Structure formats: C-alpha cells, structure tokens
C-alpha cells in the first residue's frame, strides 16, 4: 500500500502535468501555425536590403477563383482585392481575415453574361474614394459610398475613347495631379480578342484627366496590363502580358503629358516559355524598386531594371500591393492572397 506522502506527491505531479498541458493548449490556440508557400530566390546581394534571409511567403487567405487588384487602405487598416469571376471584392484584416466587401463589383447589368466580369485594379483617388477598373461594365468608375461603408453604387469616370467603348479596363495608377492612367486589354470580353462587341482595333493605354477628358497614349502594346510611375512621375512603366513578348515597357512623360521615348525596360520572354504567368500587375516603392508579378512569381528589380531576386510562387501571380511604409508586400496569386514581411 503506498504511503500518504507518495499519494500526495503523485497527485501534485498529476496537477503539474495537467496545468502544463492546459498552458500548452492555450499557447497553441493563440499562436496558430502559419501556412507558407513558395520560396525566395536571391540573385543580387542588394536584395538583402529589401528582404531578410528568413523572410517567408505567408498564405493569409485562400479559396478564390482569380484574385487580383490588391489595394491597402491605410486609414481602415484593410486590404481590398478583386475576385474577378464571381464579381466580388473582398477585404482582409488581421483580426477577421477575409470578408465580402462589395458585390457586384465590376458588372452591374441585368443580362447574364460570361467572361471575366468583376472588378480588377483598385485605387484611391485624391479624395480617398474607391476607383475601380470594371471589366463587365467596361469602364473606370468611382464608388458612390465611403470606403468604410461600401455600396454597389457607381459613377462612370470614363467608358470610351472618341465613341469607341473600352474593352475591359484592367489596371490603373493615379498621378498626383488627379489624372488616371490605365490599361485596356481584352481579358474581360466574353469572347476575348474576337468578341463581336470589341470596338477598337488595338489595345490601348489611356489617360483620363481630372476634367474627364480621355487621351489615347499608346496603341502598339499587344496586351497592356500592369501600370505604374517611378518616383517623380516622369517615367511610366507598363507590363505586357503577352507570352510571346513578355516585357515591361518604359515611357517618359513629355511636357504636354504625352508619352515619349518608349523602350523595353526588361524582357522576360524566355522565362515565360517555361514558368507560369507573364508580366502583370506591379508596384513601385519609394526608392524606385519594382515588385512585378511575372513568369514564376514576383520579380524584384531596382529602378535601373537590375534583377535583384524573385519570390517564387508555384501558382500564377497577378498583382501586388505595398503597405506599412513599404515594409509589407501583399500578393494576389490565383486562389491565394499572400503576405511577405520586408525590411
């Protein structure tokens, strides 16, 4: 028969084990495992100034048809992004994860139609209002509701050039004077390049001025897609998502705001032959570094087109957004939304 002391010791030991187990359980609940994907390929030592050696690609949301157009809204501490086929914008916040933000987002017509109908690129105008590239409605539009209280009520900013309807505005950037520069490939048309409703015989890069005037800037790029300015707004970068000519073009702004000195900034055509995806959406940080979705993931360049490295992702990437004073990179990639913490 065990002694009284041994019984007390065993009970105490069991209590310690129970408390330890409870603490471990609580800690595991508070610190869920982070799911990661892909890897980081370092090509130039300068990448270390942007990404630490232990940087990870975190999956923060998933289950989408085709995620696109990420936009970080600093005032609301939320990420907005389009899921194009289901005509929906989602928001993501650190506390609540993903939630439906706006539906419909890109097509408000009553007649059912196929194709990529939802919104794509998103941005905030100088007044802090949400501006959308709407595939289905074939226009650049503004949401007539506060960003904090969304509603599917839109005002057209531009939907044609010289009477020719746009194909499907894809991505956009706002200059500090309020002008919107945007690309117009055929991806949102129901029958793509051969759609009977396609009005213009080219794919355009346009500017819509603050007064509403639309100007055709470039009509020679086969699939204009991502678009953005370098710091100083004197050079415009445009991605061409054509697998046979997978390049980024640079243009200088003339005094009359036309584009001049068009040139290939970087050519990724060889990589597009073997890796998924092509030049798509991108963002430029305050130092002029470019984070560009392309074949195989996100390509990271300095402002002189020197390739510093790649964020390798096994699914096709579409766009990215910078947040937290360029310390966080959000990436939309097929069914995922990803996050990379940077320096």
pLDDT tens per residue across span 55-65: 999 999 999 99
Q: What is the pLDDT of residue 34?
A: 78
Sheet of 328-333: strand order equals 58-62, 336-341, 328-333, 319-323
Residue 318 Cα distances to 67, 179, 299, 303, 338, angstroms? 7, 24, 12, 21, 11
What sign does the dihedral 319-325-326-329 (CA atoms) show?
negative
Sequence-distant (6+) residues with CB within 8 A of 277 are 293, 294, 295, 296, 297, 316, 317, 318
Distance CA 33, CA 58 (A): 10
Q: Are 143 and 164 in contact (CB under 8 A)?
A: no
* pLDDT (tens digit per residue) in 116-152: 999 999 999 999 999 999 999 999 999 999 999 999 9
Q: How confident is the model at residue 32 (pLDDT cuts 50, 70, 90)?
A: low
- Decide: helix, strand or coil at residue 240: strand
Mind giving me the DSSP string for 109-173? -SS---S--SEEEEEE-TTS-EEEEETTTTEEEEESS-TTS--S-EEEEE-EETTEEPS----EE
What sign does the dihedral 175-162-68-244 (CA atoms) show?
negative
Considering the chain, what percentage of its residues have pLDDT values greater than 70? 90
In terms of Cβ atoms closer than 10 Å to its own Cβ (0-12, 13-18, 19+), residue 140 is: buried
What does pLDDT average to over the chain? 92
* pLDDT (tens digit per residue) in 215-249: 999 999 999 999 999 999 999 999 999 999 999 99
Q: What is the pLDDT of residue 17?
A: 53
Matching residue, tokens 């320096």 = 343
* pLDDT (tens digit per residue) in 85-118: 999 999 999 999 999 999 999 999 999 999 899 9
Q: What is the pLDDT of residue 68?
A: 98
- Decide: helix, strand or coil at residue 46: helix
* pLDDT (tens digit per residue) in 301-336: 999 999 999 999 999 999 999 999 999 999 999 999
Instruction: Pick the closest to residue 246 from 232, 265, 231, 227 (CA basis).
Output: 265
The yes-or-no verdict on residue 27 having pLDDT over 70 is no
Is the bond preceding residue 48 a cis peptide, omega within 30 degrees?
Answer: no
Distance CA 227, CA 280 (A): 9
SS3 content of the chain, % helix, strand, coil (to 5): 10, 40, 45
Does residue 22 or residue 42 have the better pLDDT?
42
H or E element, residue 330: strand 328-333
The yes-or-no verdict on residue 43 having pLDDT over 50 is yes
The yes-or-no verdict on residue 14 having pLDDT over 70 is no
Q: What is the pLDDT of residue 28?
A: 45
The yes-or-no verdict on residue 25 having pLDDT over 90 is no
Q: How confident is the model at residue 30 (pLDDT cuts 50, 70, 90)?
A: very low
């Amino acid at each position: 028969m065990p002694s009284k002391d041994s019984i007390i010791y065993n009970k105490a030991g069991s209590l310690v084990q129970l408390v330890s187990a409870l603490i471990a359980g609580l800690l595991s609940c508070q610190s869920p495992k982070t799911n990661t994907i892909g890897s980081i390929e370092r090509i130039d030592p300068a990448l270390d100034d942007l990404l630490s050696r232990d940087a990870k690609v975190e999956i923060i949301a998933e289950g989408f048809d085709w995620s696109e157009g990420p936009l970080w809204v600093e005032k609301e501490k939320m990420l907005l992004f389009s899921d194009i086929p289901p005509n929906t914008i989602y928001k993501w916040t650190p506390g609540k994860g993903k939630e439906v933000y706006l539906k419909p987002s890109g097509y408000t017509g009553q007649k059912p139609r196929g194709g990529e109908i939802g919104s794509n690129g998103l941005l905030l105008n100088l007044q802090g209002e949400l501006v959308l590239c709407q595939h289905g409605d074939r226009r650049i539009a503004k949401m007539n509701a506060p960003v904090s209280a969304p509603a599917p009520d839109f005002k057209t900013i531009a939907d044609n050039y010289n009477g020719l309807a746009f194909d499907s505005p894809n991505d956009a950037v706002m200059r500090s004077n309020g002008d919107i520069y945007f690309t117009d490939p055929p991806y949102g048309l129901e029958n793509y390049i051969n759609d009977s409703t396609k009005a213009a015989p080219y794919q355009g890069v346009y500017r819509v001025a603050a007064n509403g005037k639309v100007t055709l800037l470039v009509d020679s790029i086969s699939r204009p897609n991502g678009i953005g300015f370098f710091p100083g707004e004197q050079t415009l970068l445009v991605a061409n998502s054509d697998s046979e000519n997978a390049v980024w073009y640079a243009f200088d702004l003339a005094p009359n705001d036309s584009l001049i000195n068009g040139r290939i900034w970087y050519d990724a055509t060889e990589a597009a032959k073997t890796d998924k995806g092509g030049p798509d959406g991108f963002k430029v940080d305050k130092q002029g570094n470019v984070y560009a979705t392309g074949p195989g993931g996100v390509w990271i360049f300095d402002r002189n087109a020197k390739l510093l490295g790649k964020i390798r992702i096994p699914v096709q990437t579409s766009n990215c957004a910078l947040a937290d004073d360029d310390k966080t990179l959000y990436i939309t990639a097929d069914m995922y939304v990803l996050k990379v913490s940077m320096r």
